[in-house]
Structure 1
Amino acid sequence: MSVPSVVPSPPAGDELPAWLRPRIPTSFTPLSAPIRLCCIMQKGGSGKSTAAVCLACELALMGKRVRLWDVDAQLGGATHWLNPDTGDQRGEPANLLHMLKGEASPDEVTYPTSVPGLYVVPSYTSLKQIELDSPPGLEQGIEWGINNTSEPFDVEITDCGPSLGRLTIAALVGTPNVIIPLKASGFDLNALTELNRTLDLTKSRVKPDLQVTAVLLSEVLKSNLTQAVFDAMCGDYPEALIMGIRQSVKVREASLDSIRKPLHDYAPDATVRQDFQYLAATLAGQEAT
């Protein structure tokens, strides 16, 4: 394989430490449409939803038609942040749970957001019941939803919860290009062991084309530990894009109840947004807008 035909400029200059200069292996190639991305990490607070939402927004801003699947039953994730337009409905609108149970079609659970070209399949705490009373074929449910949408999307992204149950397997099967966000800490590194085991089993038994496409060091700070983790990830995932995502209070503010705006809308000049612009452009093989 060759290097990308379009390699965007790094998000900052040469004066930055190595872990903010993305490592792109010579074997890396941009993903061809339709792009399928899975943001996954076993530990909570690693930056999964931030990565999924910001990446989805930047790809939509590039003119792609993007759908983000919220596969996390916890409150405060992608559904909360992007606040999709579900219409004037009483109670819980049709969502991922209903599609997986066969009670709604993929089109019926896909809603527009304030970002042109970006759609969301929402989830709520009710999604937790699917692991206890799962329907037949749950692991193929998201892939089925992608394949049975009336108007296909250029990009499908799943935002997984911090567990490695059947819902996570469904996300991996439907979106097999894996993005791993993690923080430079012993807790996140320990969680990688079980995640890698799940990825290996899913690849060998269910989804042979599963691959780790990118590893993101979330909220990086300049330290020897950050450099050590960056170097370790380069060694552990030799075929993946490895890069740091800078720390910014703007990301946390943007998702607050009182704000709930996409990062590019709330803080368009934030350095962390430059990182996600670079990531989106590199994965898609085009210049950032």
Structure 2
Amino acid sequence: MRETQGETVQVPPLSDDLAFLDIVTEWDVDSTFHEWRAGIVVPATFLPGSLPRVIAICNQKGGAGKTTTALEFAMALVARGLRVRIIDADPQEASLSVWLRYFYPEGVEPADRKNLMHLYFDQSVTLQEITYATPFEGLYFVPSFPDLDDVETKHPTGTETELQFHLSKADDGIDVNIIDCGPKLGPLTVSALVAAHDVVIPVQGASGLDVRGAAALNRTITSVQGRLNTELRVAAVVLTDFEKSTLSRQIGGRLAKAYPNAVILPARTSVRIGEAQLAKQPLRIFAPGATTVLDYDRGASILFGNGVAA
């Protein structure tokens, strides 16, 4: 694992006087729509995770905001002084590895680098070998490419526990590993769930179909909990592209009921997300004052509590 690129940038913390959402203990379903204000739900039963930690970002439906969630949580944690590794477990062309190709040193072609696929098919490859430094101090990256889909189709021996094994053996000082899963509930996603302590489920704040996708994911989570990872928990549900509407209020209420011990985090919509993707930059760097950035920053502090500095 390369410790740094030629130059690194320190990710600064956000100011305390920005327009953060309020923190509440229950999703409001009683007040009139005019009076209703969405807040971040932190149930009284919720306990922040300790370090080191592995988080899987999952939803079987594409376009739910998994990649944005993975990257913005990572940037928020890095700004708090943690060492974070993002593992791109999505073989799609529109995955995190495409968004952030500028992470690779100048003159190096991404296809020439070992990536996550090699971890499943080559027993001699270690997680450190496929972990690369980024331009941001404390942020590391494991890339993927479309050939990672071979893990889904060929299902090499030991797939379900491969990532868990390598993460348990990695002695590289990483505080938080964030796994960005693809839109399939196949071997790759199961491998991520087996390796994880926490699941974070992004659901579009205005999509009833995403709620159905989360329900299907919950069946997979229950299966993994029963057979391979009894400690796995759903730590948070992120309502992505969130805007105040009757539908978003209903969706938030349903998810709060379905996951009573999880944080419900509205991540307010921003047109700057697409602009950041075109610019191949994290949103926190491209538009640090965007409401989406504020929501993920506050969510990161809640999920880890005293495990991270203010």
**TM-score, scaled relative to structure 2:** 0.85
- AA partner of residue 177 (structure 1): D
* Aligned counterparts of 1:129 and 1:13: Cα–Cα separation in 2: 44
* Aligned-residue offset at 1:12: 3.1
* Aligned ranges 1:1-289 → 2 under 5 Å: 11-12=20-21, 20-83=38-101, 84-85=103-104, 88-89=107-108, 91-102=111-122, 103-183=124-204, 184-256=206-278, 259-286=279-306
Identity %: 35
User: Does the 8 Å CA contact 1:56/1:118 hold for their aligned counterparts?
Assistant: yes
* Aligned counterparts of 1:20 and 1:117: Cα–Cα separation in 2: 32
User: Does the 8 Å CA contact 1:173/1:207 hold for their aligned counterparts?
Assistant: yes
TM-align CA RMSD: 2.2
SS in 2 for 1:194: helix
* Aligned-residue offset at 1:219: 0.4
* Aligned-residue offset at 1:122: 0.3
* Aligned-residue offset at 1:134: 2.3
- AA partner of residue 39 (structure 1): I
Taking structure 1 as reference, are residues 214 and 19 closer, same or farther at Cα in structure 2, changes over 3 Å only? Answer: farther
* Aligned counterparts of 2:263 and 2:182: Cα–Cα separation in 1: 22
Q: Which runs of 5+ in 2 are unaligned?
A: 1-15, 24-33
User: Does the 8 Å CA contact 2:81/2:309 hold for their aligned counterparts?
Assistant: no
User: Does the 8 Å CA contact 2:201/2:214 hold for their aligned counterparts?
Assistant: no
* Aligned counterparts of 1:118 and 1:18: Cα–Cα separation in 2: 38
Identify which range, 237-246 or 133-142, moves more after superposition.
133-142
* Aligned counterparts of 2:214 and 2:254: Cα–Cα separation in 1: 12
**After TM superposition, where is structure 1 displaced by more than 3 Å over at least 4 residues in a row?**
16-19, 86-92, 286-289
Taking structure 1 as reference, are residues 27 and 56 closer, same or farther at Cα in structure 2, changes over 3 Å only? Answer: same
Q: Which runs of 5+ in 1 are unaligned?
A: 1-7
User: Does the 8 Å CA contact 2:72/2:283 hold for their aligned counterparts?
Assistant: yes
* Aligned counterparts of 1:217 and 1:202: Cα–Cα separation in 2: 24
* Residue-pair matches, total: 280
Taking structure 1 as reference, are residues 203 and 75 closer, same or farther at Cα in structure 2, changes over 3 Å only? Answer: same
- AA partner of residue 212 (structure 1): V
SS in 2 for 1:285: helix
SS in 2 for 1:284: helix
* Aligned counterparts of 2:47 and 2:154: Cα–Cα separation in 1: 40
* Aligned counterparts of 2:159 and 2:105: Cα–Cα separation in 1: 24
* Aligned counterparts of 1:157 and 1:36: Cα–Cα separation in 2: 6
* Aligned-residue offset at 1:158: 0.3
* Aligned counterparts of 2:105 and 2:168: Cα–Cα separation in 1: 22
SS in 1 for 2:267: strand
User: Does the 8 Å CA contact 1:146/1:152 hold for their aligned counterparts?
Assistant: no
* Aligned counterparts of 2:48 and 2:80: Cα–Cα separation in 1: 15
User: Does the 8 Å CA contact 1:86/1:93 hold for their aligned counterparts?
Assistant: no
* Aligned-residue offset at 1:62: 0.7
Taking structure 1 as reference, are residues 215 and 89 closer, same or farther at Cα in structure 2, changes over 3 Å only? Answer: same
